[in-house]
Chain A
């Protein structure tokens, strides 16, 4: 029978499958960071347990780390949390790329970069954006700290088989439209809870043409559509991305692995519990205007009117959102001024993201009154960008060029948007207070954020910057 990649991977990982119970699934890769792991390690200590397979774990520090003055963490509680991860990794033998390590970076950037992320693997991390790794055809999902402790102890998790869902993108993506626009358009169309209880597979010709980094951007935000995991069947693009990376096999072993990876792709005619589609005509450069990632629209649109919402509850949510965001009904997006630009996060801080932004910004200046920063997703990305001279392009334009980390995506370190100020951000969440108490976040692609940095307001990157000509 034709099977989806989701069922193929699931079936391969069942350790115990008893009727009336969730399956006990084996976990191939467990990524860890400083914020959601300390209580799990403490649990091991309290119960005299050890880490079953430290060789299948990999830890780094990303959420709290400073992006300037790397050595100086002003917040004593954050400092303690970072030190605690180092001590836990030491005590339990878990490999760690700490702040000074050349492999350090955002956990969802370094996993693929190092080749730890591979098709067919089950991958977990105490972070909801673990869905990123699904771009490789891995079954990757975020877990809570109790589950982190469970995986550390047993290398398994009890999981009920989720429903499957196909999101098909029909047609060709137009020039000037980014992967971020695709996923923002999907979430705006289908809502932030469309994927609840499901694992999503993205399909369609448009998906096949995307690079791995673009696929990561899309899978990353699956969780913003409610899906714990979102994935893409592996193909030659996947194989070529992984070839030669640090933790993939080489020689014949690689070719064998690659053949296996390709066999995981969903079979022709495989059925999903639910299928939806979006046409490329519906996708243009997107921005969000509200306080969840589903509140978005094309750049040439405007803030909705209350009268657009027939449902009273939706109208109330809308009014609360625009009040928080400091916007008026019907306001044109291109009339909205910004004070901050953040290019970074596990969604959009890879080489291609930085290149796209640099092409827009090259030879131009950040508008007066706008503070703009670039936070590369990893130390590897930072190094490569500097080799290409991108750092010079950004700093010449007036951007700050930072060290890698999660930074202003969630503002756990010192990179914060002040209350009432507005940020064009390439991150993944525009929730109230996400980038700082009272901060107003608008999500968009790196090119769109760069264009906003130049003009000081939201701008259709296709009109003013002939970047794709």
Chain B
């Protein structure tokens, strides 16, 4: 996966809570056997009506946010289905960072495996970013090494991340290759527990 450290971009304010992965990528697009090409289907039914016309008022159809790499949403983002097609679609569309007060566990893990940085910020800070971002495009500077999100006026938001995942994301490591270094321990475990 692609390493990630600094991302500077305007934010896209998706002012919704409990956004489930069925909305992020609808089931009719899950039949492909590739990891790529899902971006054009991101939030399909919120972006397009039954005739394929863009729906007014949906934030991804607002050209002010074109090219944004930072998606900001409310709590429990990515709940529901485990489909990794959701982060694949988010990444393929162009987002590298998601900011929300909380995430569903499986979605959060899936982001980490794909070089997407899911940032947790307190609800009131997300509220502030959404409010400002909706009024006028706001450019944020995200720095994973420093664990900061910085607003144009210099306001800094600090976030926590597990050091293990931080290192993975910063280096873009292949987790499976790393795990292979523990092959002896895995074999020994199988022997001791008679799984061999």
Q: Does A256 contact B (CB under 8 A)?
A: no
**Closest Cβ of chain A: how far from B81's Cβ, in Å?**
5
Q: Which single residue of chain B is at the shortest CB-CB distance from A42?
A: B33
Which of A150-158, A359-367, A384-392 contacts the other chain? A150-158
Q: How far is the CA of A52 from the CA of B75 in the complex (A)?
A: 38
Would you call A196 and B105 a contact (CB within 8 A)? Answer: yes
What 1/0 flags go to A47-69 for Cβ under 8 Å of B? 10100110010000001100000
Q: Which residues of B contact A193 (CB under 8 A)?
A: 18, 75-76, 79, 102, 104
Cα A246 to Cα B32 in complex, Å, equals 34
Task: Kindly identify which residue among A39, A63, A313 contacts B74, using a CB–CB cutoff of 8 Å.
Answer: A313
Q: Hey, which chain B residues are within 8 Å of A12, CB to CB?
A: 193
Segment 11-55 of B: residues with Cβ below 8 Å from A: 16-18, 20, 22-23, 26-28, 30-35, 45, 50
B176 cross-chain contacts in A, Cβ below 8 A: 47, 49, 149-150, 153-154
A314 to chain B, nearest CB (A): 8
Task: Work out how many contacts link A and B, with CB atoms closer than 8 A.
Answer: 169
- Whether A128 contacts B20 in the complex (CB less than 8 A), given A156-B186, A196-B76, A228-B105, comes out as no
Binds B, one of A77-85, A237-245, A344-352, A375-383: A77-85
Q: In the complex the two chains form, is B27's CB within 8 Å of A153's CB?
A: no
- Which one, B26, B45, B106, contacts A143 given CB within 8 A? B106
A128-B80 CB under 8 A given contacts A16-B182, A438-B50: yes
Q: Are B28 and A412 in contact (CB under 8 A)?
A: yes
| CB of A155, distance to nearest CB on chain B (Å) | 7
Is A64 a contact of B31 with CB atoms below 8 Å? yes
Q: Is A270 an interface residue (CB 8 A)?
A: no
Binary CB contact string for chain A from 221 to 243 against chain B (1 if under 8 A, 0 otherwise): 00110101000000000000000
B150 in the interface (beta carbon within 8 A): no
- Flag if A192 contacts B175 (CB, 8 Å): no
Report yes or no: A432 in contact with B22, Cβ–Cβ below 8 A: yes
Task: Judge whether A144 and B76 touch: CB under 8 Å.
Answer: no
Contacts of A127 in B (CB 8 A): 81-82
Number of residues of chain A lying within 8 A (CB) of chain B: 68
| B residues less than 8 Å from A20 (CB atoms) | 163-164
| A145 adjacent to chain B (CB < 8 Å) | yes
Question: Contact check: which of B33, B50, B80 meets A84 at CB < 8 Å?
Answer: B33
Residues of A within 8 A of B63 (CB): none
Give the chain B neighbours of A42 by CB distance below 8 A.
Answer: 33-35
Q: Write the chain B residue with the least CB distance to A432.
A: B23
Contact of B106 among A24, A142, A429, A433 (CB under 8 A): A142
Is A210 positioned at the interface, with any CB of B under 8 Å from its CB?
A: no
Asked if A411 is an interface residue, CB under 8 A from chain B, the answer is yes
Cβ of A174 under 8 Å from chain B: no
Contact B23 A142 (CB under 8 A): no
Q: Is the CB–CB distance between B32 and A77 below 8 Å? A: yes
B27 touches A410 (CB 8 A): yes
**Chain B residues with CB under 8 A of A419:** 50
Whether A111 sits at the interface, judged by CB under 8 Å, is: no
Q: A127-B82, A144-B82 are in contact. Are A433 and B26 (CB under 8 A)?
A: yes
Q: Let me know if B82 and A22 touch, CB within 8 A.
A: no
- Alpha-carbon separation in the docked complex, A438 to B28 (Å): 13
Main secondary structure, interface of A, reads loop
A21 & B50 in contact (Cβ 8 Å cutoff): no
Interface size class of B (residues with CB under 8 A): 35 or more
B23 and A26 contacting across the interface, CB-CB below 8 Å: no
Instruction: Tell me if A38 counts as interface (CB < 8 A to partner B).
Output: yes
Chain A residue at minimum C-beta to C-beta distance from B111: A144
B162 contacts the other chain (CB 8 A)? yes
Q: Tell me whether A412 and B30 are in contact in the complex, defined as CB-CB below 8 angstroms, given that A36-B83, A154-B179 are known contacts.
A: yes
Report chain A residues within 8 Å CB of B96. Answer: none
Cβ contact within 8 Å between A39 and B186: no
The verdict on A437 contacting chain B, using a C-beta distance below 8 Å, is: yes
CB distance A317 to B27 under 8 Å?
A: no
Report whether B175 and A150 are in contact in the complex, using a CB–CB cutoff of 8 Å: yes
Q: Which residues of B contact A (CB under 8 A)?
A: 16-18, 20, 22-23, 26-28, 30-35, 45, 50, 74-76, 79-84, 87, 102-106, 109-110, 113-114, 162-164, 174-176, 179-180, 182-183, 185-186, 189-190, 193, 195
A146-B110, A433-B26 are known contacts; what are 6 more A-B pairs with Cβ within 8 Å? A24-B179, A81-B32, A147-B109, A317-B17, A432-B45, A438-B50
Those 3 A-B pairs whose CB atoms lie nearest each other, nearest first? A146-B113, A38-B33, A144-B84
- 26 A-B pairs, CB-CB below 8 angstroms? A24-B182, A26-B189, A35-B30, A35-B83, A36-B82, A36-B84, A38-B33, A39-B33, A42-B34, A53-B195, A75-B31, A81-B33, A127-B81, A128-B106, A143-B106, A144-B84, A144-B110, A146-B84, A147-B109, A150-B179, A155-B186, A193-B75, A193-B76, A429-B22, A432-B45, A433-B23
